[in-house]
Amino acid sequence: MATTKANGIDITYEIDGSGPPLLLVMGLGGQLTDWPTELVDRLAEHFTVVRFDNRDIGLSEHMSSDPPSRLDFLKAVIRPSWAKASYDLSDMAADAAGLLEVLDLDGVHVVGMSMGGMIAQLVAIDHGARIQSLCSIMSNTGNQRTGRPTARVFAHLARQGQDPSKEAAIARTLDLFSMVCGADWDRDHGEAMLRASLERSYNPAGVLRQSLAIAVSPDRTEGLTSLRLPSLVIHGLEDTLVRPSGGVSTAEAISDSRLLMFPRMGHDLPATRHAEMVTAIVANAQRARVSV
């Protein structure tokens, strides 16, 4: 792993494989090590895979502002402009684009999951000169009418604390995973990955700041309709955190998009679907090369 200054902050990243560059953008609270090893290894057979820790998580720079309060989140629900967020998703997309600039990478294929899908969309919208194709996994457009969590999941998210112990965070997160992941989710493997992640870095305030960044960021639908690049949208049919309508609306917004939806997959990346995902991502990248 290495750390560099990108968009004015320290970003930690790792590079694997060879071939055309592919940027992986992780979701809320996730670190670069949370991408399943098997999935990264499969992708690295076709691409130079760049993973990185988003700001405020992992080994990248943690922001110094106070974590948002419940009142900040309430304001974001009522009117996002009322909430005092340290940053939004556009800032996080600028971090990703800044890393590509530092690494001098062009013709990049960008893949993001969940919040990372939102960031990947904005990288394509706002920094498209460097991007050849987009893959948005288990994400949405930012339109509040689609891709919303179920009431049970929303209630669980609303109870998250600002500074729980690691063990409390593990228990709470596993409870959430059991609600949002699909039938093919492996709980024992998920717990092992979660414990390793929290040993690497633990920053609950950063997770709250990232959560507020999602809440205050505007609808991306108009920007998505302007995209003219091959796009792949992947979603699990059992996702209760970002329900499948989020993936459908994303695919509908992008003119040159293909939608791939899996049974037995929820808000997770089950090993049973890795081979199919990689095949679809490679095919989407090849569409970009053919169109050039």
**Residue 225 structural domain:** 2-291
Tokens of 21: 């560059």
CATH classification of the domain holding 58: 3.40.50.1820
What pLDDT, on a 0 to 100 scale, did the predictor assign at position 292? 42
pLDDT category at 82 given cuts 50, 70, 90 is confident
How far apart (Å, rounded) are the C-alpha atoms in residues 97 and 108?
10
Q: How many helices (H) and strands (E) does the chain have?
A: 11, 8
pLDDT tens string 173-200:
999 999 999 999 999 999 999 999 999 9
**Short-list 149, 282, 284, CA closest to 211:** 149
pLDDT of residue 161: 62
- Return d(Cα 140, Cα 249) in angstroms, integer: 7
What local confidence, expressed as pLDDT, does residue 118 receive? 98
SS (H, E, C) 130-151: HEEEEEEECCCCCCCCCCCCCH
- Nearest alpha-carbon partner for 130 in 92, 88, 99, 90: 99
Q: Rounded CA gap, 62 and 64, in Å?
A: 7
Angle between helices 187-200 and 166-180 (to 10 degrees): 140
Quote the mean pLDDT of the chain: 94
Q: Tell me the Cα Rg of the chain.
A: 17
**Could you read off the pLDDT of 119-155 as tens digits, one per residue?**
999 999 999 999 999 999 999 999 989 999 999 998 8
User: Are the beta carbons of 80 and 215 closer than 8 angstroms?
Assistant: yes
CA–CA separation, 286 vs 52, rounded Å?
24
What is the pTM (predicted TM-score) of this model? 0.95
pLDDT in tens, 227-246: 999 999 999 999 999 999 99
The residue type found at 84 is: K
Measure the CA–CA gap between 135 and 238, rounded to whole angstroms: 19
**The total number of structural domains that make up the chain:** 1
Alpha carbon distance 49, 182 (integer Å)? 26
Give the tokens for residue 101: 């600039």
> Which pLDDT score is estimated for 163?
56
pLDDT at 222 over 50: yes
pLDDT at 9: 96
Query: What is the bridge-based pairing of β-strands 9-17 and 48-52?
Result: antiparallel
CA dihedral 135, 61, 58, 86 (to 10 degrees): -70
